[in-house]
Amino acid sequence: MRLFNASRLCQALCFATLSFTASASEQPDADSLVGNTYLGGHLTYFKTDLDRLFTSDSKSAIDGAAGFGGEFGYRITPFYEARLSLSKLNIDTGHKGFDVPSGTSTAFDLLYFPKKANFYFVAGADFLDINHSNLSADLGMGYRHYLSENTALYIEGKSHYQFDDHYVDYSSKIGFVYYFGTKPAPIKRAKKVAAQPTNKAVSAPKDSDADGVFDANDQCSNTPMTDKVDANGCTIFTEQQETINLIVNFANNKSDVDEQYLSEIARVAEFMKQYSHVDLTINGHTSAVGEAAYNQQLSEKRAQAIVDVLVNNFAIEQSRLTAIGHGEAQLVNEANTPAAHAQNRRIQAKVQTTKKVAIKR
């Protein structure tokens, strides 16, 4: 076959494949190709650089080369594929009288499928032997059409830049590949959707916990029916202050805790167990009778006595309690009477916390 006729045939097959694949709507599943290998064959045509000469005679200019070859490929990821191809080339000078040997092309390429489908870009290195062997860099694009789960046709065009002599060549290729492996390229086809009966009753949306929010949108199932809920079906809370006070009075010059106050101390202990994050400061006081230094020590003993009751009788952690004595510095009644003195002989404690309370409907 003359070189001219071979190149025309290659170009005609390329255009025919383009026409056939242009209307194809089926796409391969790229994920199923990963890890599979293939073998293939191809026809190729090279349009060589006009400066290529077989000899020093200007009439020995190389017009082009056409040939055939085979290839081996491997799908690395859904986007990338590696390929090794070898082509045998019949070189034509365009003039009689020059005995031109055959050439070869050995290419190592990486193919990139931007949409994991048919269209791809290709780049690599080509040991192109046209008269003499030189390393070329190649860059191009192609299109692959899958005929079945194991077979595909492709067309491809590339440009080649030869580093040593700075030649720029162009090539076109049409080929056939066969995949090895289990269902390497399944074809996606449109699924047929069965027509739904028009007289079928549509089920009403459910609200299992009767909070006014349908189950499909309810992010908090089984909310109490008495709680007000938000758009996601979750209880709406408000913050409230919870406070408890403790006042214990003492006999004159004493720090002993009278049993009548144990129920009040127990109430404070329950509060602290319910709110384990709160601490309690107990402030001890005395009346103004006696020396100030003595009263200071007595107020500290009274505060510590309450701490001891909470720790020993109600198992409250020592680390959560603080005893402070104020002596006679904070009188609640400054009168100099027995009733005023009894009122001032005391401890005072106050604890407060914030809790969340559900808003009711």
8 A C-beta contact, residue 77 and residue 57: no
Give the position of tokens 């994920």.
31
Distance of CA 210 to the CA centre of its chain: 36
Q: Consecutive sets of 10 residues in the chain, 361 residues long: mean pLDDT of each?
A: 45 48 54 88 88 66 84 93 92 64 88 91 90 84 87 92 86 91 51 58 75 80 80 78 88 91 93 89 92 93 94 93 93 91 90 76 77
pLDDT tens-digit map of 256-301: 999 999 999 999 999 989 888 889 999 999 998 989 999 999 999 9
- Which residues, listed in sequence order, are joined to residue 92 by a DSSP beta bridge? 64
pLDDT number for residue 277? 87
pLDDT number for residue 191? 59
Distance of CA 45 to the CA centre of its chain: 47
pLDDT number for residue 189? 53
Angle at 160 (CA atoms; ends 158, 163), nearest 5 degrees: 165
Q: What is the fold of 3-180?
A: Porin (2.40.160)
Question: Taking the chain, what is the end-to-end CA distance rounded to the nearest angstrom?
Answer: 92
pLDDT number for residue 19? 46
Length of the chain, please?
Answer: 361
Domain ranges of the chain: 3-180, 237-358
Cα distance between residue 154 and residue 141, in whole Å: 11
Cα distances from 241 to residues 26, 79, 258, 322, in angstroms, run 67, 61, 30, 22
pLDDT number for residue 226? 81
pLDDT tens-digit map of 227-237: 887 878 788 87
8 A C-beta contact, residue 328 and residue 286: yes
At residue 159, the 3 state secondary structure works out as: strand
Q: Give the burial string for 218-251 (b: 16+ CB within 10 Å, else e).
A: beeeebeeebebeeebbbeeeeeeeebebebebe
CATH code for the domain defined by 237-358:
3.30.1330.60
**Spatial CA neighbour of 152 closest among 70, 38, 25, 74:** 38
**Spatial CA neighbour of 288 closest among 245, 251, 331:** 331
pLDDT number for residue 184? 44
pTM beyond 0.85: no
